[in-house]
C-alpha cells in the first residue's frame, strides 16, 4: 500500500501514531520489532508513504497504551486510507479538530476564504463564544470549544509560522455576533493581526458585486508534500486531497482574490467598519 498521493487520512494516522510512540517513550526500532514490523515499514507508515494495516495499528496502539475512544477513533481512521476525501456529518466534525491543528502546524501556507464568519484562526474569545452560543453550545462544552479554537491560533505566532491569507466577505463583518462591543473588539483584532508580516487580511466589499461563492474553505500548502483543503459546513466537514480537487480550489482562490481589496485598503475598510459599530 505504498502511496504517492499521501491522502489526508493516511497523513493524519501517521502523525498520530508517531506522536503516540514518542509519548510512550518508544524508539522506532522498539515499536516496529514489538509487533513484528520492519523498521522501514513503520517509518513509511508514520510519514504517510504507505498505509498501515488495521491489525498493525491495533498492535501499535496496544503497545502505546492507547485505549477507549481514542483507540477506536484511530482504528476507524485506519479504514479506507486511500479514499479521495475524508468527510464526516456535521455532528461528528469536532473529531477533525486535532488533525486540523496538526496540519496547520506543519503547513507553510494557509489560504482561508470566509464568506459568512471570521475565520477561527482570527477570532477573539468573545466572538468565538458568541458563535458557539448561537450554535447551541453552552457551559463546559462551550468553554472547551473556545479554548481549543484560541489555542489553534498559536500556530500564527510561532517562529516558523505559515504565511496566512484570509479573505473575508463584507457579510462576515456586517453580521454582528455578540453585539456591537464584541464586533468592535473583533474588527480591531483583525486590524492588529494584519500588521504581522505573515498575515494578510483581505476584504471583499459589497460594492465589488457578486462572485462564485464556494462556501468557506481552508487550503493548506506544505514544503514537500501535496496540499490539502479543509471544508467546514453545517451538514458536513472534512478534508479533500485529490489533485483534481486541489486544482479546483486553487482556481477558486485565484478568482476570489480578484474581487478583494488590497491589504492596505482592507485595513482601512476594517477601520471604517469598527467606527460604524462604535456609533451603533
Kindly report the CA angle at 68 between 60 and 59, in degrees rounded to 5? 15
Q: How confident is the model at residue 147 (pLDDT cuts 50, 70, 90)?
A: very high
Q: Is the pLDDT of residue 125 over 60?
A: yes
Q: Please report the pLDDT score of residue 2 as a whole number.
A: 43
Q: Please report the pLDDT score of residue 1 as a whole number.
A: 46
Q: Is the pLDDT of residue 123 over 60?
A: yes
Mean pLDDT of 36-45: 93
Q: Please report the pLDDT score of residue 59 as a whole number.
A: 95
Q: Please report the pLDDT score of residue 25 as a whole number.
A: 96
Domains of the chain with CATH codes: 8-77 (1.10.260.40), 86-279 (3.30.870.10)
Q: How confident is the model at residue 214 (pLDDT cuts 50, 70, 90)?
A: confident
Mean pLDDT of 70-99: 84
Nearest CA-CA partner of 108 in 275, 227, 238: 227
- What's the pLDDT tens digit per position in 148-207? 999 999 999 999 999 999 999 999 999 999 999 999 999 999 999 999 999 999 999 999
Q: How far apart are CA 191 and CA 185, in angstroms?
A: 10
Q: Is the pLDDT of residue 133 over 60?
A: yes
Pairwise pLDDT comparison (233 vs 115), residue with the higher score = 115
Q: Please report the pLDDT score of residue 112 as a whole number.
A: 97
DSSP letter at 43 equals: H
Q: How confident is the model at residue 5 (pLDDT cuts 50, 70, 90)?
A: low
Q: Is the pLDDT of residue 146 over 70?
A: yes
Q: Please report the pLDDT score of residue 97 as a whole number.
A: 85
Q: Please report the pLDDT score of residue 118 as a whole number.
A: 97
Q: How far apart are CA 227 and CA 215, in angstroms?
A: 19
- Determine how many CB atoms are found less than 10 A away from the CB of residue 180: 14
Q: Is the pLDDT of residue 137 over 80?
A: yes
Report residue 252 as a C-alpha cell.
477558486
Q: How confident is the model at residue 4 (pLDDT cuts 50, 70, 90)?
A: low
Q: Please report the pLDDT score of residue 77 as a whole number.
A: 87
- What's the pLDDT tens digit per position in 232-265? 887 889 999 999 999 999 999 999 999 999 999 9
Helix (H) or strand (E) holding 113: strand 109-114
Report yes or no: 78 and 60 within 8 Å, Cβ to Cβ. Answer: no
Q: How far apart are CA 88 and CA 66, in angstroms?
A: 23
Share the mean pLDDT of the chain.
Answer: 92
Report residue 2 as a C-alpha cell.
505504498
Amino acid at each position: 500500500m505504498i502511496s504517492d498521493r499521501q491522502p489526508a487520512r493516511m497523513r493524519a494516522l501517521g502523525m498520530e501514531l508517531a506522536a503516540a510512540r514518542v509519548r510512550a517513550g518508544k524508539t522506532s526500532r522498539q515499536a516496529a520489532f514489538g509487533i513484528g514490523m520492519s523498521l522501514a515499514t513503520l517509518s513509511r507508515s508514520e510519514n504517510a508513504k504507505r498505509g498501515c494495516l488495521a491489525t498493525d495499528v491495533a498492535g501499535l496502539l496496544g503497545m502505546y497504551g492507547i485505549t477507549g475512544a481514542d483507540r477506536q477513533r484511530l482504528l476507524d481512521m485506519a479504514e479506507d486510507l486511500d479514499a479521495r476525501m475524508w468527510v464526516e456529518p456535521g455532528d461528528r466534525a469536532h473529531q477533525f479538530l486535532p488533525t486540523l491543528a496538526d496540519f496547520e502546524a506543519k503547513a507553510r501556507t494557509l489560504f482561508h476564504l470566509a464568506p459568512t464568519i471570521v475565520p477561527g484562526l482570527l477570532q477573539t474569545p468573545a466572538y468565538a463564544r458568541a458563535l458557539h452560543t448561537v450554535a447551541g453550545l453552552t457551559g463546559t462544552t462551550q468553554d472547551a470549544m473556545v479554548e481549543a479554537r484560541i489555542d489553534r491560533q498559536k500556530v500564527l505566532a510561532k517562529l516558523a509560522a505559515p504565511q496566512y491569507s484570509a479573505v473575508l466577505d463584507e457579510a462576515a463583518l456586517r453580521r454582528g455576533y455578540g453585539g456591537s462591543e464584541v464586533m468592535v473588539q473583533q474588527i480591531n483584532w483583525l486590524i492588529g493581526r494584519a500588521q504581522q508580516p505573515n498575515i494578510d487580511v483581505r476584504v471583499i466589499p459589497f460594492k465589488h458585486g457578486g462572485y462564485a461563492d464556494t462556501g468557506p474553505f481552508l487550503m493548506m500548502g506544505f514544503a514537500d508534500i501535496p496540499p490539502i483543503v479543509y471544508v467546514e459546513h453545517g451538514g458536513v466537514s472534512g478534508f479533500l486531497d485529490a489533485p483534481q480537487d486541489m486544482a479546483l480550489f486553487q482556481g477558486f482562490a485565484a478568482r476570489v482574490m480578484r474581487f478583494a481589496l488590497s491589504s492596505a485598503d482592507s485595513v482601512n475598510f476594517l477601520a471604517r467598519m469598527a467606527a460604524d459599530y462604535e456609533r451603533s
